[in-house]
Amino acid sequence: MNENKKTKQISFIDGGVCAPRGFLANGVHCGLRKNKSKLDLALIYSKEPCAAAAVYTQNLVFGAPIAVTKESLEDNKAQAVVCNSGVANTCSPDGMEKALAMREITAEALGIKAEDVIVASTGVIGKSLDLEPIQKAMPALAKGLSNKGSAKAAEAIMTTDTRKKEYAVEFEIEGKVCRIGAVSKGSGMICPNMATMLSFITTDVLIDDTALKSALKAAVENSFNMLSIDGDTSTNDMVSIMANGLAGNPMISQAGEAYEIFQSALKAICIKLAREMARDGEGATKLIECVIRGAKDENTAKILARSVINSALVKTAMFGEDANWGRIICAMGYAGVDLDVNRVDIAFSSAAGRVQVCQNGAALDFSEDKAAAVLAEDEIIIEADLADGDGNARAFGCDLSYDYVKINGDYRT
């Protein structure tokens, strides 16, 4: 099926994780965070049991919630997500005990099995998680579940984020209207390799767990794994998805048109979330995209795009609105893949226009004034054409500003 045709069938709608049928959500301030205006405990619940899948951080140091959720999803089933902000529950001597207890508290409030709860935490590493505020707040959190509660859940998982990230898409599969909704958090400690963030996705599509896992992995590879804020991979990263089947479409269990439509919709919402996390990077003033074209293959293009977007020198040049393309070709050169520098073209583009700065690996005469105008915009695209094949890729990131240091210099204190 033509990719453009599939994309045209997908439309963004309101509702976040509650847009799909049968999903409810809520968020409250339970007291884990000192600022009472900050929500710090989120709950997402499906009225029906779901097929479920997740992708996790590749950091060898990972939080107790990751271990508990892996255990919960051994049967590829789930019905709820609980997430706190403020404390990561990582590298704490009682971490597993607290994560398991958090799962039990949630299950009891919802009247479901503990093994059907996805557990997540985000915040400061090395601090013990206080369960008392969670236990006290859980009855009200569960009672307040609503099909209008996505915004509260999105707010409750935020840490240094400056804006909520919640989206939903609608599409059709064999005549049935289907939806996917999502909330995510992520602003700093983000680097390709699952990226450092949390994202909880819901869908009313009827799909078996094998197909669901495959679709999630493919979507993550082209979205969250192409995202970098600062080069640090976190300990608590997770993307989970629950599918309750209430859309009423025929079961999706293998590759085919229905699977392709679902995968395209899932990829679309994940890319949207990745872009918004890049835009909201800690201290960021610009959303940066690196587009690689004409690489030997797609994997080569991905490696090159990630290398450019992850370069601190490229990031600082974008903050300074400096068309220093040498930093870009340098980052491509150390990416660890074959590169014929004599065939590389580089350009910058934005709403202000496009300026080519390098051709066949050598400098071009270009207008510095035009380049400055292009780079003054808040969304910048770095384009590189390798003239070496059909491999294309796109990575998402942001500039690196003075405020990034300020935010992270006193993050814990």
> Any idea where the domains of the chain sit in the sequence?
3-279, 287-409
pLDDT at 193: 43
Q: For the segment 211-261, what is each residue's pLDDT rounded down to a tens digit? A: 999 999 999 999 988 887 655 555 668 899 999 999 999 999 998 999 999
Q: Which residues of 267-276 are buried (b: 16+ CB within 10 A; e: fewer)?
A: bbbbbbbbbb
| Residue 395 to residue 254: CA distance in whole angstroms | 29
pLDDT at 23: 98
Q: How confident is the model at residue 341 (pLDDT cuts 50, 70, 90)?
A: very high
| Residue 275 to residue 282: CA distance in whole angstroms | 14
**Burial of residue 108 (number of CB atoms within 10 Å: 0-12, 13-18, 19+):** middle
Q: Which amino acid is at 257?
A: E
Q: For the segment 367-378, what is each residue's pLDDT rounded down to a tens digit? A: 999 999 999 999
Fold classified for 3-279: L-amino peptidase D-ALA esterase/amidase (3.60.70)
Q: For the segment 155-209, what is each residue's pLDDT rounded down to a tens digit? A: 999 987 878 899 999 999 999 999 999 999 875 444 434 334 799 999 999 999 9
Closest CA to 396 of 296, 318, 279: 279
Residue 338 reports pLDDT greater than 80: yes
Q: In CATH terms, are 3-279 and 287-409 the same topology?
A: no
Q: Mind telling me the catalytic residues?
A: 196
Angle between the 257-279 and 209-221 helix axes, to the nearest 10 degrees? 40
Q: For the segment 125-153, what is each residue's pLDDT rounded down to a tens digit? A: 888 999 999 999 999 999 999 999 999 99
SS3 20: coil
Q: How confident is the model at residue 278 (pLDDT cuts 50, 70, 90)?
A: confident
pLDDT at 197: 77
pLDDT at 406: 74
- Output Rg (C-alpha) for the chain, integer angstroms: 22
The conformation of residue 11, written as its DSSP 8-state character, comes to E
pLDDT at 192: 38
| Residue 114 to residue 121: CA distance in whole angstroms | 17
Percent of the chain with pLDDT over 90: 74
Q: What is the mean pLDDT of residues 272-299?
A: 89
Residue 391 reports pLDDT greater than 60: yes
Structure tokens at 105: 């508290």
Residue 60 reports pLDDT greater than 90: no
Domain 287-409 maps to which CATH number in 3.10.20.340, 3.60.90.10, 3.20.20.70, 3.10.20.600? 3.10.20.340
Instruction: Report whether 288 contacts 382 (CB < 8 A).
Output: yes
Q: How confident is the model at residue 413 (pLDDT cuts 50, 70, 90)?
A: low
Structure tokens at 206: 């009827």
